[in-house]
Amino acid sequence: MTKRTRSSERAPDALREISFQPGIAPQASGSVLVSFGRTQVLCAASIEDGVPRWMKEQGVVGGWLTAEYSMLPYSTAPRKQRDSSRGKIDGRSTEIQRLIGRSLRAAVDLEALGARTLWVDCDVLQADGGTRTASITGASVAIALACDKLVKEGKLAKSPVSRRIAAVSVGVVAGDVLLDLDYLEDKDAEVDLNLVMTGDLEFIELQASGEESVFGDEHLAKMLDYGRRGIRELVAKQEEILASN
């Protein structure tokens, strides 16, 4: 059976063109500009000595990782108003940065990090669907680079990054399962799924919902199958860029 060809000429189970440009923010401990097609996110990891007060008060050993996510005004058309000018972070940004933080903490041995805070900033330069999955995938590279720097500086014996993680979107559009949706596909999707997994294909988070629709076992199984294929490819690309740095 011939696979459906999308408007972008991709097969249903194909990722967009993926690229990582490391060292994009020299003042950060580790950084990368990640591109999923036309979606571009600058992911930067900064390491500070010290941990949040609640960890000290509760006697929690080790370090902490926290994430912030924002879409720059020019990342969309029409222009998106800055959160600072509105006086608060919108609900979507809050949800996404919590997802990024949860996902990345699954990749780091926080006790081995020591009494340090790993700050992760994900700034969307251009949005064309999948900004949260691109952020997680790029940030996984950024934290690996940041922790490798600690090792090179002799501050740690080995990196506290215990595993590679990546994320990808899958959806059902006009009855067909598609991997790594761009904006035009995402806005018409009947079902939307965001998948966060380790390089060993263990689940970290799975967000799936019907958009005024429902889905059954067959569609779910196919979405997970496509998602796993995408995760394998993304992790391979992460390893390739990290091996060269």
Task: Tell me what pLDDT residue 177 has.
Answer: 96
Pull the structure tokens for residue 29. Answer: 């401990």
Domain membership flag for residue 105: yes
Whether residue 175 has pLDDT greater than 60: yes
Task: Tell me what pLDDT residue 91 has.
Answer: 85
Whether residue 23 has pLDDT greater than 70: yes
Task: Tell me what pLDDT residue 2 has.
Answer: 42
Domain membership flag for residue 8: no
Query: What tens digit of pLDDT does each residue of 112-139 get?
Result: 999 999 999 999 999 999 999 999 999 9
Torsion of CA 48, 99, 69, 27, to 10 degrees: 30
Domain membership flag for residue 123: yes
Q: Residue 160's CB: how many other CB atoms inside 10 A?
A: 22
**Residues 6+ away with beta carbon under 8 Å from 94:** none
Task: Tell me what pLDDT residue 164 has.
Answer: 97
Q: Calculate what percentage of the chain has a pLDDT beyond 70.
A: 96
Domain membership flag for residue 219: yes
Q: Is residue 151 within a helix (H) or strand (E), and if so which, with residue range?
A: helix 131-152
Query: What tens digit of pLDDT does each residue of 100-114 get?
Result: 999 999 999 999 999
Confirm if 2 and 19 have CB atoms less than 8 A apart: no
If you average pLDDT over every residue of the chain, what do you get?
94
Query: What tens digit of pLDDT does each residue of 65-99 get?
Result: 999 999 998 998 888 888 766 767 788 889 999 99
- Mean of pLDDT values over 191-208: 97
Strand 64-71 and strand 116-126: pairing? parallel
- Residues 188-201: b if buried by 16+ CB within 10 A, e if exposed: ebbbbbbbbbbbee
Domain membership flag for residue 4: no
Q: Could you list the residue range(s) of the whole structural domain that residue 152 is in?
A: 18-243
One DSSP character per residue, 66-83 reads: EEEEEE-GGGSSSPPPPH
Which one-letter DSSP state was computed for residue 190?
S
Q: Of residues 168 and 79, which shows the higher confidence score? A: 168
Domain membership flag for residue 9: no
SS3 content of the chain, % helix, strand, coil (to 5): 35, 30, 35
CATH number of the domain within which 173 lies? 3.30.230.70
- Mean of pLDDT values over 191-212: 95
Domain membership flag for residue 138: yes
Whether residue 148 has pLDDT greater than 70: yes
Q: Which residue type sits at 84?
A: S
Task: Tell me what pLDDT residue 212 has.
Answer: 80
> What is the dihedral sign for C-alpha 39, 70, 169, 161?
positive
Domain membership flag for residue 97: yes
Task: Tell me what pLDDT residue 208 has.
Answer: 94
Nearest of 167, 170, 148 to residue 159 by alpha carbon: 148
Task: Tell me what pLDDT residue 5 has.
Answer: 55
Task: Tell me what pLDDT residue 86 has.
Answer: 72
How many domains does the chain fold into?
A: 1
